[in-house]
Homo-oligomer: A and B are copies of this chain.
Amino acid sequence: MANQKKTRNQNISKIRKLRKEEVSVDSLIEGIRQSDKASLARAITLVESSNPEHLEQAEQLIVKSLALNSNSIRIGITGVPGVGKSSFIEVFGKTLTLSGKKVAVLAVDPTSALSKGSILGDKTRMEELSKDPLAFIRPSPSGESLGGVARKTRESIILCEAAGYDVILVETVGVGQSEIAVHSMVDFFLLLKLSGAGDELQGIKRGIMEMADGIAINKADGNNVERAKLAQAEFARALHLYPPKENGWVPKVFCCSAVENTGINTLWELIQDFTKTMKTNGHFERNRKLQNKNWFLQTVDEQIKVYFHSKKSFVEAQEEMLKAIEENKISPYHAARKLLDGLKEQLK
């Protein structure tokens, strides 16, 4: 029995070794080029990994993926929980795949850091789309910081584009920070709203409205149609009060229903109109360049952090300060100052 177990363990370790060997950057990139979903999923996992050993591979993956040209459109979709984002994405995604588009769905979830939940965690919510060979759905659990989430979602977008996905949908939920992060990485930003519920209760603050390129009044079906039309008129009026956008785009409001599949084509026409207009007036590329610069700046800040935390002397000095704080020997602010002073001395 003991021997059998030993042999079994040896086999497992052999398989593990094989698996490890399989995940070479080149084979992953090859898989991505062939639009193999398993390779794409694996590449995203690698990029999301906080294991320092994966960093080098992740960087190579991104650099190589960036070299593969893409002509994608990146669409951010936001709205409070309950507004029907998943059903909406399911129907919108199916419409796109039926017309031959390849659709990737990613998520930025500001709450999962604590609850370990994820907006796209429940795949059954997009049952049809998840079975569609032209669709790729990826729940993207957030990292420790929001910056972390943002960084990884950007990388995931690049990987999906390298795999030939034409439309990248980035779903988010929440008020504020996560929308700002998603807005900074998409071309078109869609806000889903409900009629009926007061604006305040929907948790949408002025800032989110300002970011929207389109507003969809969702669940405009059955008894709700009249109310939805009223809400549409109200939002259209509200939008007129905002100063015009720099890119000249006037955000549009429309009604839609995921259940009755109405308004979905309106959205796709709107997005195509938006893309065409922005590409003509140069704002499409200008916006992507601006986003690239921000991506660069964020990556630099994050990598500096990663670098120091990989230095033994730094980690040791930090541990010492943590111990002193635990023993009430130093205030946290003073400890930070001392650590930094030591660092600056070293860097002189």
User: Residues of A with Cβ closer than 8 Å to B?
Assistant: 59, 62-63, 66, 80-82, 109-115, 117, 145-147, 155, 158, 173-178, 180, 197-198, 200-203, 205-208, 210-211, 289, 292-293, 295-297, 299-301, 303-305, 307-308, 318, 321-322, 325-326, 328, 331-337, 339-340, 343-344, 347
User: B201, A175: Cβ atoms under 8 Å?
Assistant: no
Given A299-B336, A325-B293: A307 in contact with B344 (beta carbons within 8 A): yes
Q: Which of B208, B296, B308 contacts A111 (CB 8 A)?
A: B208
Cβ–Cβ < 8 Å partners of A333 in chain B: 59, 62-63, 66, 155, 158, 295-296, 299
Distance (whole angstroms) from the CB of A56 to the closest CB of chain B: 10
Cα of A326 to Cα of B285 in the assembled complex, Å: 10
User: B201, A82: Cβ atoms under 8 Å?
Assistant: yes
Cα of A288 to Cα of B301 in the assembled complex, Å: 28
Residue of B whose beta carbon sits closest to that of A59: B337
Cα of A50 to Cα of B313 in the assembled complex, Å: 29
Q: Which of B114, B198, B211, B336 contacts A210 (CB 8 A)?
A: B114
Cβ–Cβ < 8 Å partners of A297 in chain B: 318, 322
A sample of 19 more A-B contacts (CB under 8 A), given A175-B203, A300-B318, is A63-B337, A66-B331, A81-B201, A109-B176, A111-B176, A111-B205, A115-B206, A117-B206, A145-B147, A146-B146, A155-B333, A173-B203, A173-B205, A295-B333, A296-B332, A300-B340, A301-B305, A303-B340, A307-B344
8 A-B contact pairs sorted by A residue (CB < 8 Å): A59-B333, A111-B176, A114-B210, A115-B207, A117-B207, A155-B333, A174-B176, A301-B305
